[in-house]
Amino acid sequence: MASASHRRSLRKRRALAVSAAAVVAAGAGAGVLAMNANAEAVDLYHQALPAKDGWAASGTGTTGGAKADSAHTFTVSTRAQLVKALGSASDATPRIIKIKGTIDANTDDSGKKLTCADYASGTGYSLAAYLKAYDPATWGKKAPSGPQENARAAAQAKQGKNIVFKVPANTTLMGVPGTGAGIKGGSLQVKGVDNVIVRNLTLSATEDCFPQWDPTDGSSGEWNSAYDSVTLRGATHVWIDHNTFSDAPFFDSAEKSYFGRKYQIHDGAVDITNGSDLVTVERNQFTNHDKTMLIGSSDTDSTGKLRVTLHHNVWKGIVQRAPLARIGQIHLYNNVYDTTTLNGYAPKYSIDSRAKAQVVAEHNHWILPAGGKAAKLLSGDGTGSVVGSGNLVNGTQTDLVAAYNAANSKKIKTTVNWTPSLTAGLQTSAKNLPTELASTTGAGVLS
């Protein structure tokens, strides 16, 4: 463990680096430059994504709510205040929303705690009745339909109305340092809008009270849930920086099974789908989660888009999809993957490249437990590519694709159609990343 003073100096160095980068970012001109000329004048809430910092820096870059006036700068600490500050999803006025402390999404407008039973109330839904109605032994393998499925959907919609926060264009959402800021049980939805920043938040316990049974999902059926902690759909220029994502405190290992399958109440941590494009996901911690990050919702999601950079993130105790990449040009550098089982989350693979995804993965660092195999770090459908060097597995340079391809019939392709150029902060040695990222990632680091 780093000492407290060591951590402080790391933080300071990081802060200085960010300030310097912000000056460079503003170097192209515009009114922001005058403010940024004195780096100290730009606080964390007004920071834009630095120049060349991944795909979200492309074109107009990502400034979030940097230009917000005082009337559109909010400090919120309850769900109702957050909803009010977000305003209308179609109002693109720049806004900064500072989140102080933890907001529980499952509360009503007066702050009263809402339970799954509260959402089900009045819909006629009960899990017992649902299980009775759609037991494959009697219902068969067709999709659930009829009164109990309608009731489930109605209850789910009631919860969704409460816990989904629609983020408008030109918004920065940031946790106030030192307040343990975050959202519990919520889902930030960035849909069809441009220019959004999400920083310094612990986004935890995003749970669907009303999972749907899909008997046709896989060979044995699956329970599917609706909410990601952050969901991007048709979103562009999004910077997701210094957040912590976790299922805690309720882990999948505590879930019951029905119809022989796990009753899964969690969906993605950050899902980037429906033609989303130009996204940078940086210095986050992803932990205690199964399906962590989807890029592209299907093999036909959207061509020419889904360009995403993931760098300096820590993935620890996650099962899969870090990410599951489809179609797009995706750059992964300087990430740390710790594939030791944590709280029952046993890793299956780290990166899945499918549907012709063009993945460049370089200078990442894997920590494998005893008996862990480099051949199991990738996954694919035989059409996706992965290239890139400098990846370390337990400290040793490893060709992940060669290891995977030697053990699998659906080979990962070894050429891509692009060369990353938006690579701010890329370190050409992954050796020290586990130590460095332990104190420079996740919520609570920025100050």
The catalytic residues are 321
Which span sits near Ca ion by CB under 5 A: 54-62, 197-205, 244-252, 267-275? 267-275
Interacting residues of 253 by C-beta distance below 8 A, sequence separation 6+: 343, 344, 345
- Which H, E and C letters describe 238-281, residue by residue? EEEECCEEECCCCCHHHCCEECCEECCCCCCCEEEECCCEEEEE
Judged by CB under 5 A, does residue 224 bind Ca ion? Answer: yes
357 versus 445: smaller Cβ distance to Ca ion: 357
Largest CA distance in the chain: 70
Smallest distance, Å, CB 366 to Ca ion? 25
Among 207, 252, 267, 362, binds Ca ion (CB under 5 A): 267
How far, in Å, CA of 327 to CA of 17, rounded?
A: 33
Contact 243, 202 (CB under 8 A): yes
Which span sits near Ca ion by CB under 5 A: 47-55, 58-66, 116-124, 261-269? 261-269
29 versus 218: smaller Cβ distance to Ca ion: 218
270 versus 377: smaller Cβ distance to Ca ion: 270
Q: Which two tokens stand for residue 245?
A: 């994502």
* Interacting positions 408-437 with Ca ion (CB under 5 A): none
Residue type at position 68:
A
Cβ count near 94 (within 10 Å): 19
121 versus 298: smaller Cβ distance to Ca ion: 298
How far, in Å, CA of 171 to CA of 66, rounded?
A: 8
Q: Which two tokens stand for residue 181?
A: 């800021």
Terminal CA-CA length for the chain: 20
Contact 321, 293 (CB under 8 A): yes
How far, in Å, CA of 144 to CA of 123, rounded?
A: 17
Phi first, then psi, for residue 279 (nearest 5°) are -125, 135
Smallest distance, Å, CB 325 to Ca ion? 15
Q: Is the peptide bond before 323 cis (omega within 30 degrees of 0)?
A: yes
**Considering CB under 5 A, how many residues would be counted as binding Ca ion?**
5
Which span sits near Ca ion by CB under 5 A: 42-50, 155-163, 227-235, 363-371? 227-235
Smallest distance, Å, CB 291 to Ca ion? 7
How far, in Å, CA of 154 to CA of 150, rounded?
A: 6
Smallest distance, Å, CB 271 to Ca ion? 4
How far, in Å, CA of 27 to CA of 21, rounded?
A: 10
Smallest distance, Å, CB 266 to Ca ion? 9
292 versus 398: smaller Cβ distance to Ca ion: 292
Which span sits near Ca ion by CB under 5 A: 192-200, 243-251, 260-268, 436-444? 260-268
- Give the H/E segment covering residue 189: strand 187-191
CB neighbour class for 57 (10 Å; exposed up to 12, middle 13-18, buried from 19): buried
Measured in whole angstroms, the distance separating CA 354 from the mean position of its chain's CA atoms is 19
Judged by CB under 5 A, does residue 301 bind Ca ion? Answer: no
Among 182, 211, 268, 275, binds Ca ion (CB under 5 A): 268
297 versus 408: smaller Cβ distance to Ca ion: 297
Judged by CB under 5 A, does residue 228 bind Ca ion? Answer: yes
Smallest distance, Å, CB 338 to Ca ion? 24
Which span sits near Ca ion by CB under 5 A: 28-36, 143-151, 222-230, 348-356? 222-230
65 versus 268: smaller Cβ distance to Ca ion: 268
Smallest distance, Å, CB 317 to Ca ion? 19
Among 194, 207, 208, 271, binds Ca ion (CB under 5 A): 271
Per CB under 5 A, residues contacting Ca ion are 224, 228, 267-268, 271
